[in-house]
Amino acid sequence: MDRRDLLTLAGGVLAGGAAHPLLRAAPPEQAKPGLRVFDARAFGAAGNGTALDSPAINAAIDACHAAGGGVAYVPPGVYRSGTVVLKSNVTLYLEAGATLLGSKDLADYTPQPGPPGRGDANQKHLIFARDAENAGLAGPGRIDGQGPAFWVPSGRKTPPPEDAWRDVATYDWKPTDRASPLLEFVGCRHLRIEDVRIENASGWTLRPINCDNVVIRGIGIKNPVIGPNTDGIDATGCTNLFISNCHIDTGDDAICLKSENPYGGEPRISRNIVIDNCVLTCCCNGLKFGTATRGGFENVTFSNCVIANDDVPLNARVISGIALEMVDGGWMEGVVISNVRMQRVRTPIFIRRGARRLRPDGTPGTLRGVMIENVHATGAILTNSITGVPGFDVEDVTLRGIRVDSQEAGREEWAGRPILEVERAYPEARMFGRLPAYGFYCRHVNGLRLEDVVMGAAAGEQRPAVVCDDVKRIEILGLRGAAAGPQPVIRLIDTQQAWIHGCAAPEGAAVFLQVEGAKSADVALSYCDLRGASRAVTTAGGAPERAVTAAQNLGA
């Protein structure tokens, strides 16, 4: 409910000011038909920033709920608050000029049953609802969690400048006991969160968990970039979830989809999720699946969004713009990402199927059916990657209309460094260190299509644009890259059923395609403009010459 809706429903009620009996929260038997508005001040809220006003706000919510529903209204003022419990058929409305100020005293937060008492997510929250139906949080007011009051310096040793690419600004701080998530909604149905500003969360900011039919629209989240674990939205096990027109600027993941159930029982599938028209800024991941991926993710779209940093130090920049991670035995299928602009994101695209936790049969989860198109990223530092683990591939991935411009040149020794599998490691784009390609590194993938992919390299780049290792059924169409010293533009290692066509060798390339490994087979190169390369194809590392068939190329 936005302010226009509230005014429309109230008609002349709000125009009469707080003197009107509805705004004084008359008892239900005296309330007039229509909108019921329960003013927190009528229940004793002071709004002076010092008195503890959560008991009065809870009383207004309880009265509204008992009356059959309506609006618990918080007028302009500063309301110091502990836990506020939202209930069915009640919209908590924060008026312009109203601030719900999270108390610095943890004793003011009433523990709620659920996850363990301490941790990234715990039992203390500023706003909480469980099993509520038709509940809402709305209005142009503000929620301030006073997060910095719950962080202390970590005392860590500052890393050297050459390691800034892997550093994170939040590592300078560590949390004490805190309320997290600041806003927690569990098992709710027909939930709406609209227009509010949420600032300075001490931990996770907003988590709808195991909820159905959720609309999050037009909210702003602003947490300090140094805030440890200050995720923006951690949607977990939700169905029919719509997130739109939001601005999220925070110290950890901006939007993170999870599949776990700390409230007990099997994790629910995160299904039928639409995220669009958002601007995301952080120093971790813009859109992330995981890391808790014990259940499934199905039918997710992410579109028309900006993921960007200002010109800030490397350790304050987004680590991954898009991070799709399946590492806990769950599954992902049916993800479509389109029309995304990224600026100064360290790694635009990171896709990982790992084996941190295994299924009962000893196998990792699955990751398949991903389409990413129309992404334009500038100022990248780290290599995009798509990786599975030996014997368990990432499957059926299409990247179309991708342009990535890198701002840092890679060294020639990085092109030959061995890359460990680290199957059980925590998944992050930094996990492999410096990779052998400057554009895309793909390993253990079955069914990959790279179409109209443009890789812009920094001056002095000494690595291939694309490296594929143990990849099957790959099609590369319309690739454009830059010459990189003696390195090939495309390097295939133990790759089978590859078709490279419609590509152009950059001027000055030493080799366009290099095929390596005894397992390489059925590689076709056709309809490419190879005039810019000194050599079209080379084989190495035990790859048989018959592994490659080249035909109908220009300049071959």
User: Picking from 12-21, 106-115, 356-365, which range would have the lowest pLDDT averaged per residue?
Assistant: 12-21
DSSP label of 123: S
Query: What are 115-134's pLDDT values in tens digits?
Result: 887 778 999 999 999 999 99
φ, ψ for residue 524, nearest 5 deg:
-115, 135
> The pTM is what?
0.94
Instruction: Assign 33 a pLDDT band (cuts: 50, 70, 90).
Output: low
Q: What mean pLDDT is predicted for residues 274-296?
A: 96
pLDDT of 27 higher than 90 = no
CB atoms under 10 Å from CB of 217, counted, come to: 16
Q: What mean pLDDT is predicted for residues 37-45?
A: 98
Q: What mean pLDDT is predicted for residues 88-98?
A: 98
Q: What is the DSSP string of 372-435?
A: EEEEEEEEE-SPEEEE-BTTB-EEEEEEEEEEEEESSPPPHHHHH------TTSPP-TTTT-S-
Query: What are 132-179's pLDDT values in tens digits?
Result: 999 999 999 999 999 999 999 999 999 999 999 999 999 999 999 999
Cα 119 to Cα 97, 115, 175, 318, distances in angstroms? 33, 9, 10, 23
Q: What mean pLDDT is predicted for residues 363-367?
A: 95
Q: Are 291 and 256 in contact (CB under 8 A)?
A: no
No. of helices (H) and no. of strands (E), the chain: 3, 40
Instruction: Assign 2 a pLDDT band (cuts: 50, 70, 90).
Output: low
User: Picking from 72-76, 313-317, 517-521, 552-556, which range would have the lowest pLDDT averaged per residue?
Assistant: 552-556
Q: Which domains are assigned to the chain? A: 1-110 (2.160.20.10), 353-366+384-556 (no CATH)
Q: What is the DSSP string of 505-520?
A: PPTTEEEEEEEESTT-
Residue-level pLDDT at 556: 67
Any residues with CB less than 8 A from the CB of 321 and at least 6 apart, and which?
285, 286, 287, 307, 340, 342, 345, 347, 348, 349, 375, 377
